[in-house]
Amino acid sequence: MNLTEGSLSIGTASSGSLVTPSSGNVGIALSATVPNGAAVAYQ
């Protein structure tokens, strides 16, 4: 996913990645400490 300045991506953590409702797995890796199913906001 190519975010522009000020963009925000919101979704859930799944197997160490950010998954959004509109785009699915967007290829943004998350820390292993973020549990599956956790809400995530990425800017």
Nearest to 40 by CA among 12, 20, 17, 21: 12
* Residue ranges making up the domain that contains 18: 9-42
Average pLDDT over residues 6-24: 91
Q: How many domains does the chain have?
A: 1
Cα separation of 15 and 5, whole Å?
27
| pLDDT of residue 7 exceeding 90 | no
Angle, vertex CA 6, rays to CA 1 and CA 12, nearest 5 = 50
Q: Please choose, from the candidates 34, 16, 35, the residue with its C-alpha nearest in 3D space to the C-alpha of residue 26.
A: 16
- Position 4 in a domain: no
**35: in domain:** yes
- pTM for this entry: 0.78
Q: Is residue 18 part of a domain?
A: yes
Q: How confident is the model at residue 36 (pLDDT cuts 50, 70, 90)?
A: very high
According to the model, what pLDDT value does residue 29 have? 95
**Cα(24)–Cα(26) distance, integer angstroms:** 6
In a domain, 36, yes or no: yes
Mean pLDDT of 3-31: 89
